[in-house]
Amino acid sequence: MEHLNYYKLLAKQYPNIDEVSKEIINLSAILSLPKGTEHFLTDIHGEYEAFSHVVRNASGTVKRKIEETFGDTLPVEDKEILASIVYYPKEKLVFLNKNGVVNEKWYRTTIYHLVLILRNAGYKYTRSKVRKSLPENFGYIIEELVQEKEVLESKKNYYKEIIKSVIRTERADDFIIALADVIRRLVVDRLHIVGDIYDRGPGAHLIMDDILKHHNVDIQWGNHDIIWMGAAAGSRACIANVLRICLRYGSLETVQDGYGINLLPLAQFAANTYRDDPVECFQSIVKNGHEFKERDLDLMAKMQKAITVIQFKIEGQIIKRQPSFKMDDRLLLDKMSRDRKKVKIGGKDYEMKDSFFPTVDYDDPYKLTDDENEIMDVLLINFKHSGKLQKHVKYLYSKGSIYLSCNDNLLYHGCIPFTDEGEFDTFEMNGKIYSGKSLCDYLDEKIRDAYFNQSESSNFFNRDIVWYAWCGEDSPLFGKSKMATFERCFVDEKETHKEDQNAYYMFRDDVEKCNMILDEFGIDKNRGRIINGHVPVNTKKGENPVKAEGKMFVIDGGFSKSYQKTTGIAGYTLIFNSVSMILVSHQPFEDHNVTIKKNEDMVPQEVYVKKEPKRLLVEDTDVGRDLKATIKILEELLNAYRKGLIEQTF
């Protein structure tokens, strides 16, 4: 028998026929359970309130479970109260107690209703999996209550007494919170974050805190995540980009409060260097609901200009030492005239909106001054030694990747670069050519090396690759001809601001091209679908988030408040359960207190529902395929026992 030594090793875990048979029976039974629900979000961009609420209501899945459980047997208002309890149990209980709603009868009724919802949420899981999701302090009690046996007269009093005892011992609030937490955990089996957790909004660090606590999550890196990962790995170019964007959007909470980055040296440098500069090009700071004082806005504008100039210098150094990046068109500091009043872009001269560049040496424009070097040294130490940032970035690496194949769905944030002719675009590095999947795999490897192999001599190059992934033309995380930061800052003419999208975006509605991508990544094109973010769907102009006859879902609809005037909504999310794929749109969400006090919800609207031909079971999933492979191995071990090739132990 082949691999006999392997089976002898496996026999230590399953020492006899009884143990092997028990596991085969258990795994075979799991295959027949319904597939768990998957929840897809993308382009969150630091909007913590909206993110938290969408995760808590599971894009309407919680309400669907409540409706399935009670139908017309409960008034609409009661069902809305139950939903808000599931979303925000602690806050809702405080509110209801203050308003005199809570008494013993209310506790009994609410606990009973939550138990019924929990039963409905947990029916597709094994008892073991449900048990593992229960909190230690109430695990036994909840497990007893969710067993559907109270129809037996002998059990009714038993269940009633459990609930009475919970109330009598003044543990009812904690018990309700525990039930709500388990319901939220069970309604979604797996959460997919399809990129761009960071930038624009103020709460990326809070979002990461929540993601770290989630029971089952994966992340496909977005280009805005990559610069934070690069910053944590020690890339000065990424650090400069991170700070420029935070200053541009007036969202310093993540940098300062979340990660403890000290911006005082940058502020002092900016205030001194640009003391008499009106910095008009940098005054249009996005306030994101903040009420900044005029002097604070002025300082932030000066800081933004200071770090922007530093960014252009550091990026210029990268472009010069990495000619394979083919980004010479981004070298613009040396294209400014000596008096800084004009700049040559694409062979044409343009007037500069700003001509004050005291730190830029005309003869060596990409050289940092001593002060700029010192600032970057201090910032580098801050980013490298921020414990919370490093913790969050390590999690992004452990749970993240450029793409993911999961249950016949291909998830990636940006694009798979195409040529105008409809072929996969190529990226050449060190004599090797990469495209499609090989390009994604190559960048994934180098991005990991940049963080985990920082002592290696090659890491200088790897950090440059991380920056390229943020803004390079052939990066699948970016997908544009250029990042026109310089032009947007210093040139009025809109023609210079244009960032041409990769040809991929012309082919998103082409079924053949979507099948070509699926085939490239080894996914069955008959069942496969692509789930994509990065470029907001312009709902106001009638753009459809469902592309290529349902082959692709583009679910960036504007979580970020700065996009919502353009998109007209507050984001798309996707639910994939055992019977259908459901795409929903969201309206802007301002404050969870509205849900707590008025039971109002950011009710998602179903914009697309694709029913499965048959209910999907665990056996139809990636986990199911793994279980089948395990069962086959166990059956071979069982055969070895029966033939006497391996001795049983008892």
* Beta bridge pairs of residue 40: 192, 574
* CA distances for 614 relative to 29, 243, 383, 619, angstroms: 18, 50, 50, 13
Coil/strand/helix, residue 6: helix
Measured distance CA(145)–CA(159) in Å, rounded:
7
Encoded tokens for 638: 């069982």
Q: Where are the domains of the chain?
A: 9-33+621-642, 59-186, 204-490
Strand 605-611 and strand 580-585: the pairing is antiparallel
Question: What's the burial of 338, exposed, middle or buried (CB within 10 Å: 0-12/13-18/19+)?
Answer: exposed
pLDDT at 225: 97
* Beta bridge pairs of residue 553: 531, 546
pLDDT at 284: 84
pLDDT at 536: 77
pLDDT at 157: 80
CA dihedral over 634, 638, 639, 643, signed as positive or negative: positive
pLDDT at 150: 58
pLDDT at 593: 76
Which amino acid, 649? T
Measured distance CA(435)–CA(458) in Å, rounded:
22
Measured distance CA(149)–CA(33) in Å, rounded:
21
Report the candidate in 392, 394, 393, 443 with the shortest Cα–Cα distance to residue 414. 443
CB atoms closer than 10 angstroms to residue 182: 24
- Phi (first) and psi of residue 315, to 5 degrees: -65, -40
Measured distance CA(167)–CA(237) in Å, rounded:
58
pLDDT at 152: 60
pLDDT at 18: 95
Neighbouring residues of 347: CB distance < 8 A, sequence distance ≥ 6: none
* Predicted TM-score (pTM) of this structure: 0.93
Report the candidate in 120, 118, 122 with the shortest Cα–Cα distance to residue 110. 118
pLDDT at 564: 61
pLDDT at 569: 60
pLDDT at 149: 60
Neighbouring residues of 319: CB distance < 8 A, sequence distance ≥ 6: 325, 327, 328, 330, 331
pLDDT at 124: 85
pLDDT at 393: 98
Encoded tokens for 587: 């309206």
Which amino acid, 93? L
Coil/strand/helix, residue 128: helix
DSSP 36: P
| Low pLDDT (below 50) residues in the chain | none
pLDDT at 154: 65
